Chain A
Amino acid sequence: MRIGRSQRFDQARPFATLALLFAAWLIAPTAVKSFLRASFFELNAPVPVAASYARDLQEFWSLRLHSKDELIEAGRDQARLNASYALSIQTNAELEAEIGRLQALLRLPPIDRFRFEHARVVQRDFSGWWQRMIIRKGADFGIPTGAPVVFAGGVVGRIAEVHATTSVVELITDPAVRLAAEVAGDTRPVSYQGGLNPTFGPARGLLEFVPLDIWADAEHPKLLVTSGLGGVFPPGLLIGRVVKVESSTDGLFKTGVVQLDPRLAELTEVTVLVPAAPAPAS
Chain B
Amino acid sequence: MRGTLVLFLTLLLLQALLGQANHSLTGLHVHLFAAGLFVTYGSLMLPFGPGLATSVLAGLLCDAAAPVAFGTQALLFGLAHIVVFNLRDRIPREDPAARRFIALAVNAAVFLALSAVLIRRGLGRPAAWPRLASDLLASEIALALVAPWFFALQAQALRLARVEAA
Chain A residue contacts of B138, Cβ below 8 A:
199
Of the residues B23, B52, B70, B122, contact of A17 by C-beta under 8 Å: B52
Chain B residue contacts of A198, Cβ below 8 A:
29, 130-131
Of the residues A127, A130, A160, contact of B33 by C-beta under 8 Å: A127
For chain B residues 10-45, which have a beta carbon within 8 Å of chain A?
A: 12, 15-16, 19-20, 22-23, 26-31, 33
In the complex the two chains form, what is the Cα distance from A203 to B30 in whole Å?
12
Q: Say whether A199 contacts B121, CB under 8 Å.
A: no
Chain-A contact segment, one of B60-68, B90-98, B146-154, B157-165: B60-68
Interface assignment of B145: CB less than 8 Å from any CB of chain A: no
Interface assignment of A132: CB less than 8 Å from any CB of chain B: yes
**Between A and B, how many residue pairs show CB distances below 8 Å?**
130
What is the size category of the interface that chain B forms with chain A?
35 or more
Q: Say whether B20 contacts A18, CB under 8 Å.
A: no
In the complex the two chains form, what is the Cα distance from A99 to B96 in whole Å?
71
Interface assignment of B86: CB less than 8 Å from any CB of chain A: yes
Name A residues whose Cβ lies closer than 8 Å to a Cβ of B: 11, 14-15, 17-18, 21-22, 25, 33, 36-41, 43-44, 47-48, 51, 123-130, 132, 160, 170, 175-176, 193-201, 203, 265-266
Quote the shortest CB–CB distance from A168 to chain B (angstroms): 8
28 intermolecular pairs with C-beta atoms under 8 Å apart: A11-B86, A14-B52, A15-B82, A18-B75, A18-B78, A22-B71, A22-B78, A37-B70, A40-B61, A41-B64, A44-B65, A47-B19, A51-B20, A51-B23, A123-B23, A125-B22, A125-B23, A125-B65, A127-B22, A127-B135, A128-B132, A194-B122, A196-B127, A197-B131, A198-B131, A199-B28, A199-B30, A199-B138
For chain B residues 111-143, which have a beta carbon within 8 Å of chain A?
A: 114-115, 118, 121-123, 125, 127-128, 130-132, 134-135, 138
Known contacts being A41-B64, A43-B61, A175-B122, is A200 close to B29, with CB within 8 Å? yes
Interface assignment of B79: CB less than 8 Å from any CB of chain A: yes
Of the residues B31, B64, B115, contact of A37 by C-beta under 8 Å: B64
Shortest Cβ distance from B118 into A: residue: A129
Chain A residue contacts of B28, Cβ below 8 A:
199-200
Known contacts being A48-B16, A198-B131, A199-B130, is A266 close to B78, with CB within 8 Å? no
Of the residues B60, B75, B121, contact of A130 by C-beta under 8 Å: B121
Interface assignment of B110: CB less than 8 Å from any CB of chain A: no
Interface assignment of B103: CB less than 8 Å from any CB of chain A: no
In the complex the two chains form, what is the Cα distance from A193 to B124 in whole Å?
14
Interface assignment of B56: CB less than 8 Å from any CB of chain A: yes
In the complex the two chains form, what is the Cα distance from A22 to B71 in whole Å?
9
Q: Say whether B122 contacts A195, CB under 8 Å.
A: yes
